[in-house]
Copies of this chain bind each other. A is one copy, B any other.
Amino acid sequence: MSGKYETRLAELGVTLPDAPAPAANYVPYVIVGDMVYVSGQISGDANGRINGKLGADFTVEQGKLAAKTCAISLIAQVKSACGGDLDRLVQVVKLGGFVNCTPDFLDHPQVINGASDFIGAVFGDAGKHARAAVGSSSLPLGVAVEIEGIFQIK
């Protein structure tokens, strides 16, 4: 409860939600050795899903906030994978970010930075991750952002 990363999350004003249930017939994460593969987390929070299409009805700032909620859900899943002790996280290895956007949208990196910046703020060096950010013509249920991740734990 009072681990260093949970403390940092509290300082940042974030209370981790329960790890979100998958949207369909799969599991939220699989652990292989010291690696955790986390399913794609869709943008949303306690108030519901965050839907939108960048380049149409959604600004980059709104997209960044959506991406941050994906990061929070990823962290909640990793905490669950760590049996509740988030300090068992060794390294955020890789994020794969998908932005729901129009064909002429250009600012995918800024949008996914909403997740990367937050993960950096929480985990410091352990949060330095590889990343891909791409556009999707559509995402599940109309969400603005979906992010999957690979994490190393101990």
Contact = CB atoms under 8 A, between A and B. Distances in A.
Contacts of A93: 30, 32, 37
Q: Which of A39, A100, A101, A140 has the most CB of B within 10 A?
A: A140
B134 A98 contact: yes
Interface residues of A, number: 58
A39 B130 contact: yes
Nearest to A97: B40
A2 interface: no
Interface of A: 22-30, 32, 35, 37-40, 53, 55, 91, 93-96, 98, 100-110, 112-113, 116-117, 120, 128-142, 146, 148, 150, 152
6 contacts: A23-B109, A24-B116, A26-B129, A106-B138, A106-B141, A134-B139
